[in-house]
Amino acid sequence: MRRYQDVAFRVACLITGDGDEAQDATQTGFIKAVQALGSFRDDAPFRPWLLRIVANEAKNRVRSRARRATGPLDERIVSLAPSPDELAERSEEQRELLAAVRRLSEQDQQIIAYRYFLELSETEMAELLECPRGTVKSRLSRATSRLRTELTTRSGAIDDV
């Protein structure tokens, strides 16, 4: 499980928007995964199974925090954006891309983040999101199209998304 620690933390961080809470969700998710190893299907891929457990734990923490009157999930995801110093080091195109992603809906942000930032396969995304691979493909296509439109509208030009 050690080799999945970084990607599991990133998934939890995308969902919770808080590094400490993401760390807790990752740790609890790993504990739950170890406890559930007996129910793991041998023919199923391990990584998406583990990431789904971590993602569910992170979602539970977000729901719990929401009951305590915190901001919406999309604001927490946006808060994962790099600091101003980090942005200064990035190229103008990267800044425009990140800003465009922030303007997308929560669902679009999530699917774009899973595919392009976390580099999950469509199959892994389908397992994580608990939906058919075809649904992932269509959501990703629509999100990419909306991102392209957002970039073109704001900047007037786009190389490739």
Residue-wise pLDDT tens digits, 77-115: 455 555 556 545 556 777 778 788 888 998 898 899 888
For domain 81-161, say whether CATH 1.10.10.10 is its number: yes
pLDDT of 80 reads 56
Residue-wise pLDDT tens digits, 138-150: 999 999 999 999 8
pLDDT of 71 reads 47
Ranges of CATH 1.10.1740.10 domains, the chain: 1-71
Ranges of CATH 1.10.10.10 domains, the chain: 81-161
The CATH code that applies to domain 1-71 is 1.10.1740.10
Under a CB-based contact definition with an 8 Å cutoff, are residues 144 and 151 in contact? no
Q: Across 18-124, where does the E strand assignment appear? A: none
* Orientation angle between helical segments 5-16 and 19-35, nearest 10 degrees: 120
Give the predicted TM-score (pTM) of the model.
0.55
